[in-house]
Chains A and B, each alone.
Chain A
Amino acid sequence: MDELFAPTVPDEAMALALDRVRRGAETGDVSELDGLALDQVILNMGPQHPATHGVLRLVVTLDGEVVRDVIPVVGYLHRCKEKLAEKRTYYQYIPIVDRTEYMAGMNCEWTYVLAVEELAGIEVPRRAEFIRVIMAELNRIASHHVAVGTFTADLSPLGTAMAFYTFRDREKILDLLEEAAGARMMFNYFRFGGVRFDLPPGWEQRCRELMAEVPKWTDEYRALVEDNAVFLSRTIDKGVISQQDVVDYAITGPNARASGVPHDLRRTRPYSVYPELDFELCLADHGDVFDRYKVRVDEMLQSARIVQQCLDMMPRGPVQEGSLRAPYVITPPPGSAYIAQENPRGEYGIYIVSDGSRYPYRLKYRDPCFINLQLLPKLMRGNKIADAVAIGGSIDLVLGGIDR
């Protein structure tokens, strides 16, 4: 019977948390309620936990309700994608890239294809550029739907309305993407020098109608949540990311813009046809959980505007640079390139080193969630468990990108 209660051998993260508690006890930094002999509880939130999006494990040291320390443990979804790159030709690697950050398949593929085009000096026809922007922005809206929906579901009892409205609207976008690219999430649609198919007939009209609906959707989300007294009291002034944190921890994407940092790669390091499109940067000034939610909803509107402009400005013409269609083998000259691009979660960059052969010599991802996750312990310290869950939800993590 006693082996039932044999203390499980704590792995490194648990051991680190235990000795931090022990060191805390020696230096007198014991629990707030010094009167009571309350020792701290180490709680394992994850890797299966309703609040951690995907297989993230947080070793949380609790002092009653207050979170005293958090040690994130990642790697449960590690698929060694960077090692795979050494074994796959450039062309075979495209479907693997859009499985890193599976919420934004189009953006990931675009970054990889952009990097290889930079290395190999491939030109992209103008119509393909516009199709790429449309696909990326549609994927951004769908990804923000998931982010906002699951974040609100974390705050409220099971079966909250917001989660279902966002996912219902996302379905419509995914149907559009399936018509054009053939798949709902794992697209494999981009090619070097363009995209694989042209848009099916009648697609543009359906897309224009759907983009006209986006403002109606966002008004409904705002009405449901933004004046809600309970929602405000749970999100305002919680988990504030200061601009100093943004610079020190290289935070990018909606999390940075919510703190007032106008860093958006579509504007600061323009690529493709973005300079010709006019859209505003959605900024907020307090950088708390509420602002991060608000920035994401505003960005949905901006993305819809971009898609409408692209549909108007898109010329006729080929969709993929002719010479690259048949032979699927590309051997870019030796050299290295770091190309980054604005993914719904931040700056998603790929650093490729090529040695002239058919296989990339080394491929390194700059994943926005991996870097935003570093700040989580600093944000969660000192808050209650409920706040910690809200902050985790507002940072919007996708474990596929973190673990690669």
Chain B
Amino acid sequence: MDLFLDILRGLAAVILAYSFVFISALVNIVFERRTLAFMQDRLGPNRTGPQGILQSVADSFKMLGKEDFAPAAVDKRLFTLAPIMVMIGAVAVQLVIPYTKGWTSQDLNVGIIYIVAVTSFTVLAILIGGWASHNKYSLVGALRSAAQMVSYEVPMILALLVVAMAAGSLSLNDVVSFQSGYQWFVFYMPLTFFIFWIASIAELNRGPFDLPESESELVAGYGTEYSGMRFGMFFLNEYAGLTIMSMVTVTLFFGGWEGPGQDLLVVYGVSVIPFVWFMLKTYALVFALVWVRLSVPRLQVDQLMAFAWKFLIPLALVNILASAAIILWAPQWKWVMAGFSWVLFLAVVVLFDPLQRRMLRRRRAKSPMLTRG
């Protein structure tokens, strides 16, 4: 009997995962366009459906309707394989995410490592897509995105390890339970959160790091030759990634589904109120992602690499060594960790600009003689 229940549970998990990806993608498209619009003193789409809610549904129908042709010089098999692969990352991650108190599809005890392994699929898919399109723009775009995603996975893993060390286990459920009682990791390790969040923005190709499909130089990066539903898959993956990555961040740093009034409404052993809290926190972070995209210009390729290898990764290494030392030897390690992390975090935030300005001024002084003769 319970075998049948397990199968049913598994099936429900898969359906939930896929539907979650598509629904969150559609919601995010409208959410981002409306938030961007309001921050720019305009209205955004408000004609399709009440207040423009059905806009993304209309978009996806249009995307389905559009002719989805492959140019002649394209490597047919890879060209069709890339969009299919790109969704794997977003869907597979939901296996380990604890949505609410009683519900996690499969509580793997290697949750964190599983997350990192699965998200690297999108790098592969973009590389295949860019190479198969046989177009200068998409080739350059694909190579750029591969370099960017690989070099930002390193700080992401280092940040995750710190969380794993603090929580004592790799399984996400243990991480959430460790943070219960409002002792969220973001209060103890703001520096780790800072590193993880910046790396996740780069992983999503968004905000200041959206080099692969930067409009002004590469027209549409790896997506130039795609049209119709194939382009739709790339597009949906980008927006679904927003929610998925925010969910992972919330689980790791903001105490997952924890919130007041946990056991009020329990349905078949699955409590609903924490799910609402979980969603609220996720969409707070999605708002932050959209907010950053609006106000920060795009980085250059060499600056992107320099920022990752010369700043973020050394910071992550220092952070992981210090955290390990504190967890091992410090008596009340939580408070010591909080002190250390907060001091370093504020130092980074405050000192980054002056140091950068000094470096730029020195580079300017070296530039060729400006005056006549």
> At the interface, yes or no: A317 with Cβ under 8 Å from chain B?
no
Contacts of A243 in B (CB 8 A): 370-372
> At the interface, yes or no: B332 with Cβ under 8 Å from chain A?
no
Least distance between A165 CB and chain B CB atoms (Å)? 7
Contact A232 B357, CB 8 Å, known A43-B136, A160-B294, A161-B40: yes
CA distance A352 to B215 in the complex (A): 43
The interface bits of chain B over 213-244 (1 if a CB of A lies within 8 angstroms of the residue's CB, else 0) are: 01111110000000000000000000000000
Least distance between B84 CB and chain A CB atoms (Å)? 26
- B40 engages A386 (CB within 8 Å): no
Which one of B113-121, B275-283, B299-307 is at the interface? B299-307
> At the interface, yes or no: A129 with Cβ under 8 Å from chain B?
no
Interface residues of B in 30-46 (CB under 8 A from A): 36, 39-42
The interface bits of chain B over 68-107 (1 if a CB of A lies within 8 angstroms of the residue's CB, else 0) are: 0000110000000000000000000000000000000000
Contacts of A165 in B (CB 8 A): 40-41
Interface residues of B in 285-300 (CB under 8 A from A): 293-300
Contacts of B367 in A (CB 8 A): 237, 240, 286
Q: Which residue of B lies closest to A227 (CB)?
A: B353
CA distance A231 to B208 in the complex (A): 10
The interface bits of chain A over 206-229 (1 if a CB of B lies within 8 angstroms of the residue's CB, else 0) are: 000000000000000000110111
What are 24 pairs between A and B in contact, CB < 8 Å? A5-B73, A154-B216, A156-B296, A156-B297, A156-B298, A157-B208, A157-B210, A159-B36, A160-B297, A164-B40, A224-B295, A228-B297, A229-B352, A230-B296, A232-B356, A232-B357, A233-B299, A234-B303, A237-B360, A237-B363, A242-B368, A259-B370, A385-B217, A389-B216
CA distance A260 to B364 in the complex (A): 15
Q: Which residue of B lies closest to A4 (CB)?
A: B72
Find B370's partner among A43, A225, A260, A389 (CB 8 Å cutoff): A260
Q: Told that A228-B295, A230-B299, A231-B297 touch, could you supply 4 new A-B pairs with CB distance under 8 A?
A: A157-B214, A164-B41, A230-B208, A259-B370
Which of B297, B298, B360, B363 gathers the greatest number of chain A CB atoms within 10 Å? B297
CA distance A321 to B41 in the complex (A): 45
Contacts of B219 in A (CB 8 A): 49-50
Q: How many A-B residue pairs have CB under 8 A?
A: 120
CA distance A386 to B300 in the complex (A): 6
> At the interface, yes or no: A65 with Cβ under 8 Å from chain B?
yes
> At the interface, yes or no: A285 with Cβ under 8 Å from chain B?
yes
Contact size range, B: 35 or more
CA distance A233 to B297 in the complex (A): 10
> At the interface, yes or no: A403 with Cβ under 8 Å from chain B?
no
> At the interface, yes or no: A174 with Cβ under 8 Å from chain B?
no
Contacts of B72 in A (CB 8 A): 1, 4
> At the interface, yes or no: A37 with Cβ under 8 Å from chain B?
no
> At the interface, yes or no: B274 with Cβ under 8 Å from chain A?
no
Q: Which residue of B lies closest to A159 (CB)?
A: B36
- B360 engages A233 (CB within 8 Å): yes
Interface residues of B in 348-373 (CB under 8 A from A): 352-353, 356-357, 360, 363-364, 367-373
Find A50's partner among B41, B216, B300, B302 (CB 8 Å cutoff): B216
Contacts of B41 in A (CB 8 A): 164-165, 168
> At the interface, yes or no: B198 with Cβ under 8 Å from chain A?
no
- A161 engages B295 (CB within 8 Å): yes
The interface bits of chain B over 38-68 (1 if a CB of A lies within 8 angstroms of the residue's CB, else 0) are: 0111100000000000000000000000000
CA distance A224 to B363 in the complex (A): 24
Which of A43, A152, A158 gathers the greatest number of chain B CB atoms within 10 Å? A158
> At the interface, yes or no: A51 with Cβ under 8 Å from chain B?
yes
> At the interface, yes or no: A387 with Cβ under 8 Å from chain B?
yes
Contact A158 B215, CB 8 Å, known A234-B297, A234-B303, A384-B300: yes
Least distance between A306 CB and chain B CB atoms (Å)? 28
- B299 engages A65 (CB within 8 Å): no
> At the interface, yes or no: A73 with Cβ under 8 Å from chain B?
no
Contact A287 B40, CB 8 Å, known A43-B136, A236-B360, A389-B216: no
By a beta-carbon cutoff of 8 Å, the part of chain B in contact with chain A is: 36, 39-42, 72-73, 136, 140, 207-208, 210, 214-219, 293-303, 352-353, 356-357, 360, 363-364, 367-373
Q: Which residue of A lies closest to B295 (CB)?
A: A161
Contacts of B294 in A (CB 8 A): 159-161
CA distance A386 to B305 in the complex (A): 14
Q: Which residue of B lies closest to A41 (CB)?
A: B136
The interface bits of chain A over 258-294 (1 if a CB of B lies within 8 angstroms of the residue's CB, else 0) are: 0110000000000000000000000001111000000
- B293 engages A157 (CB within 8 Å): yes
Find B298's partner among A5, A51, A155 (CB 8 Å cutoff): A155
CA distance A234 to B295 in the complex (A): 15
Contact A232 B360, CB 8 Å, known A157-B215, A161-B39, A164-B40: yes
Contacts of A199 in B (CB 8 A): none
Closest 5 CB pairs of A and B: A156-B297, A164-B40, A155-B297, A51-B216, A236-B360
Contacts of A13 in B (CB 8 A): none
Which of B73, B216, B300, B364 gathers the greatest number of chain A CB atoms within 10 Å? B216
Which of A164, A240, A387 gathers the greatest number of chain B CB atoms within 10 Å? A164
Contacts of A50 in B (CB 8 A): 215-216, 219
Contacts of B299 in A (CB 8 A): 230, 233-234
CA distance A190 to B219 in the complex (A): 41
> At the interface, yes or no: A247 with Cβ under 8 Å from chain B?
yes
> At the interface, yes or no: A244 with Cβ under 8 Å from chain B?
yes
- A229 engages B136 (CB within 8 Å): no
CA distance A4 to B134 in the complex (A): 15
Least distance between A24 CB and chain B CB atoms (Å)? 19
CA distance A286 to B360 in the complex (A): 12
Q: Which residue of A lies closest to B293 (CB)?
A: A157
Contacts of A228 in B (CB 8 A): 295-297
CA distance A322 to B329 in the complex (A): 94
Contacts of A386 in B (CB 8 A): 214, 216-217, 298, 300-301
- A247 engages B372 (CB within 8 Å): yes
CA distance A256 to B13 in the complex (A): 64
CA distance A152 to B40 in the complex (A): 14
Least distance between A283 CB and chain B CB atoms (Å)? 13
Which of B73, B293, B300, B353 gathers the greatest number of chain A CB atoms within 10 Å? B300
CA distance A152 to B298 in the complex (A): 10
CA distance A165 to B41 in the complex (A): 8
Q: Which residue of A lies closest to B140 (CB)?
A: A65
CA distance A259 to B369 in the complex (A): 12
Least distance between B109 CB and chain A CB atoms (Å)? 39
Contacts of A157 in B (CB 8 A): 207-208, 210, 214-215, 293, 297-298
- B353 engages A229 (CB within 8 Å): yes
Least distance between B234 CB and chain A CB atoms (Å)? 16
Q: Which residue of A lies closest to B370 (CB)?
A: A242
CA distance A168 to B294 in the complex (A): 16
Least distance between A323 CB and chain B CB atoms (Å)? 49
Contacts of B360 in A (CB 8 A): 232-233, 236-237
CA distance A49 to B301 in the complex (A): 20
- A244 engages B208 (CB within 8 Å): no
Which of A161, A230, A236 gathers the greatest number of chain B CB atoms within 10 Å? A230
